[in-house]
Chain A
Amino acid sequence: AQSVTQPDIHITVSEGASLELRCNYSYGATPYLFWYVQSPGQGLQLLLKYFSGDTLVQGIKGFEAEFKRSQSSFNLRKPSVHWSDAAEYFCAVGAPFSNQFYFGTGTSLTVIP
Chain B
Amino acid sequence: GAVVSQHPSWVICKSGTSVKIECRSLDFQATTMFWYRQFPKQSLMLMATSNEGSKATYEQGVEKDKFLINHASLTLSTLTVTSAHPEDSSFYICSARARDRAGTEAFFGQGTRLTVV
| Chain A contact residues, CB within 8 Å of chain B | 32, 34, 36, 41-46, 49, 51, 90, 94-101, 103-106, 108
Contact = CB atoms under 8 A, between A and B. Distances in A.
A51 B104 CA distance: 8
A34 B93 CA distance: 17
A100 B97 CA distance: 10
Contact of B34 (A42, A43, A95, A99): A99
B103 A41 contact: no
A43 B111 contact: yes
Identify which of B6, B34, B104, B107 gathers the most chain A CB atoms within 10 Å of its CB.
B104
B111 A97 contact: no
Nearest to A99: B32
Nearest to A42: B110
A95 B103 contact: yes
A103 B102 CA distance: 17
B105 A34 contact: yes
Nearest to A46: B105
A36 B95 CA distance: 13
Contact of B110 (A32, A43, A51, A99): A43
B67 interface: no
B103 A90 contact: no
Contacts of B41: 108
Identify which of A98, A100, A101 gathers the most chain B CB atoms within 10 Å of its CB.
A101
B68 interface: no
B32 A41 contact: no
Contacts of B43: 90, 103-106
Interface in B36-57: 41-44, 46, 49
